[in-house]
């Protein structure tokens, strides 16, 4: 009887060895071991009939069982060890081409326009102007009405606006931020408001989306000469050299008097070149004294307060400082262009 048990145990072990030799993955080895050693596995199956044996017989079969289990454990460990060994060898023998160039890690950088915007803001901040922002989807009121540009006013033609229904627009300039600021803050006010604006324009010098920077100073005594002084300081600091500015009388509904602001061409220092079309001057924006009608629209007493406002194009400032001759370069996302400014 006991011999029968021992034979069976040996047969199970032999069967296990056979299957183990065919296993080629670690998972299949573990699965096979789990199956043979489990409580319902073939080894335990043999032991079920042990209860019919005498004490001595049981002892000897028990030893045979433990031996069989031990054998399976040992074989499994050896097999797993051989897999590990194979892996290690493969790793040590792997072929490394030390001449392959390493992987380049690209370093990100601020977009040129973001850099220029920041440069501009920092200069005005240095003069005491604070940052202000407003929404890009703006009301007709903030974009036009409050700035003394009523519906049907010819000045609305100056901006080819994207309308989003009757009352909302994609703001065509940053001037609405003036209105929002005066609605929410009591004077004195000194703010600089950079931001994205939209117009129905598309050619080498115009993009349907571009950036402006708006300035507003409202105080007891703000003079036209303060406006000129502030813009002069800005131009000289931004370009890092001495350049004159000049005002040409112009019309913007929300300022009176209004002016177009020119600066001496930064390319030829005013001598005349292709960029300034030989004139020595380039236009950089619009400016003027806040019109009393605008003050009235935001409940600021124009007898007590005075102010100036200006607006400039950021792409234009970037073009003049860095020589970018087509506005599309800013928005194409071509890394060969962008990397020159990182
Ligand atoms: N908003 C004007 C535009 O986009 C620019 C401008 C002109 C802004 C005169 C001003 C200003 O603040 O006083 O064309």
Q: What is the pLDDT of residues 214-231, one digit of tens each?
A: 999 999 999 999 999 999
Ligand 1: centre distance to CA 214 (Å): 8
Ligand 1 in reach of 308 Cβ (< 6 A):
no
Closest ligand 1 atom to Cα of 197: 4
pLDDT band, residue 76 (cuts 50/70/90): very high
How far, in Å, from the CA of 252 to the mean position of ligand 1? 7
C-beta 252 within 6 A of ligand 1: yes
Ligand 1 neighbour 214 (Cβ under 6 A): yes
**pLDDT band at residue 6, thresholds of 50, 70 and 90?**
confident
Ligand 1 nearest atom to the CA of residue 216, by list position: 12
Whole-model pTM: value is 0.72
Share of the chain above pLDDT 90, in %: 73
15 CA distance to ligand 1 centroid (A)?
A: 91
Q: What is the pLDDT of residue 176?
A: 98
HEC string of the chain equals: CHHHHHHHHHHHHHHHHHHHHHCCCHHHHHHHHHHHHCCCCHHHHHHHHHHHCCHHHHHHHHHHHHHHHHHHHHHHHHHHHHHHHHHHHHHHHCCCCCCCCCCCCCCCCCCHHHHHHHHHHHHHHHCCCEECCCCCEEEHHHHCHHHCCCCCCHHHHHCCCEEECCCEEECCCCCHHHHHHHHHCCCCEEEEEEEEEECCCCECCECCEEEEEEEEEEECCCCHHHHHHHHHHHHHHHHCCCCCEEEEEECCCCEEEEEEEEEECCCCCCCCCCCCCCCCEEEEEEEEEECHHHHHHCCCCCCCCEEEEEEEEHHHHHHHHHCCCCCHHHHHCCHHHHHHHC
- Residue identifier of the C-alpha nearest atom 7 of ligand 1: 286
The answer on pLDDT for 8 being more than 80 is yes
Q: Where in the chain is the domain with CATH 3.30.930.10?
A: 112-341
pLDDT at res. 74? 94
pLDDT at 29: 93
Q: What is the mean pLDDT of the chain?
A: 92
Other C-beta atoms closer than 10 Å to the C-beta of 79 total 19
pLDDT at 159: 61
Q: What percent of the chain has pLDDT over 70?
A: 99
The residue whose CB lies within 8 Å of the most ligand 1 atoms, and thus the one to mutate among 224, 310, 312, 313, is 310
Name which residue leads in pLDDT, 130 or 155: 130
158-188 per-position pLDDT tens digit: 668 999 988 999 999 999 999 999 999 999 9
Residue 3 banded pLDDT, cuts 50, 70, 90: confident
Ligand 1 pocket test, pick from 148, 215, 286 with the greatest ligand atom count within 8 Å of Cβ, gives 286
CATH classification number, 112-341, choose in 3.30.930.10, 3.20.20.80, 3.40.1010.10, 3.30.1330.60? 3.30.930.10
CA of 251 to the centre of ligand 1 (A): 10
State how far the Cα of 52 lies from the Cα of 178, in Å rounded to an integer. Answer: 101
Nearest CA to ligand 1 atom 3: 173
- Predicted confidence at residue 329, as pLDDT, reads 92
Answer yes or no: is the C-beta of 310 below 6 A from any ligand 1 atom: yes
Q: Is 179 in the pocket of ligand 1 (CB under 6 A)?
A: no
pLDDT given for residue 56 in this prediction: 83
Radius of gyration of the chain, Cα coordinates, nearest whole angstrom: 41
Average pLDDT value for residue range 2-20: 88
Q: Would the CB of 286 count as within 6 Å of ligand 1?
A: yes
pLDDT confidence of 5, banded at 50, 70, 90? confident
Predicted confidence (pLDDT) per residue in 99-141, tens digit: 999 998 888 899 999 999 999 999 999 999 999 999 999 999 9
Q: Is the CB of 76 under 6 A from ligand 1?
A: no
pLDDT score at 26:
92
**Reported confidence tier of residue 63, pLDDT bands at 50, 70, 90:** confident
């Amino acid at each position: 009887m006991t011999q029968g048990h021992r034979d069976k145990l040996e047969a199970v072990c032999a069967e296990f060895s056979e299957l183990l030799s065919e296993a080629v993955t670690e998972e299949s080895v573990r699965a096979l071991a789990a199956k043979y050693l489990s409580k319902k596995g073939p080894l335990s199956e043999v032991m079920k009939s042990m209860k019919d044996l005498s004490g001595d017989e049981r002892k000897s079969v028990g030893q045979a069982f433990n031996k069989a289990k031990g054998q399976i454990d040992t074989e499994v460990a050896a097999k797993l060890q051989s897999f590990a060994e194979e892996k290690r060898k493969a790793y040590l023998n792997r072929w490394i081409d030390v001449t392959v160039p390493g992987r380049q890690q690209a370093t990100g950088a601020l977009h040129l326009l973001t850099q220029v915007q920041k440069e501009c803001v920092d200069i005005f901040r240095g003069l005491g102007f604070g940052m202000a922002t407003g929404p890009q989807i703006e009301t007709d009121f903030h974009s036009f009405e409050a700035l003394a540009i009523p519906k049907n006013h010819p000045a609305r033609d100056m901006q080819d606006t994207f309308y989003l229904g009757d009352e909302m627009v994609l703001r065509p300039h940053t001037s609405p931020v003036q209105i929002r600021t005066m609605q929410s803050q009591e004077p004195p006010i000194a703010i600089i408001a950079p931001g994205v604006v939209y117009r129905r324009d598309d050619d080498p010098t115009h993009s349907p989306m571009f950036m402006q920077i708006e300035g507003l100073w409202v105080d007891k005594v703000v003079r036209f000469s303060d406006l000129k002084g502030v813009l002069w300081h800005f131009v000289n600091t931004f370009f890092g050299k001495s350049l004159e500015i000049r005002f040409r009388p112009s019309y913007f509904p929300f300022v009176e008097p209004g002016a177009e602001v020119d600066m001496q061409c930064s390319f030829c220092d005013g001598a005349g070149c292709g960029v300034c079309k030989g004139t020595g001057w380039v236009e950089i924006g619009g400016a003027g004294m806040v019109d009393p009608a605008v003050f009235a629209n935001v409940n600021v007493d124009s007898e007590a307060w005075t102010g100036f406002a200006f607006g400039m194009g950021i792409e234009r400032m970037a073009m003049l400082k860095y020589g970018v001759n087509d506005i599309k370069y800013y928005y194409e996302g071509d890394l060969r262009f962008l990397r020159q400014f990182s």
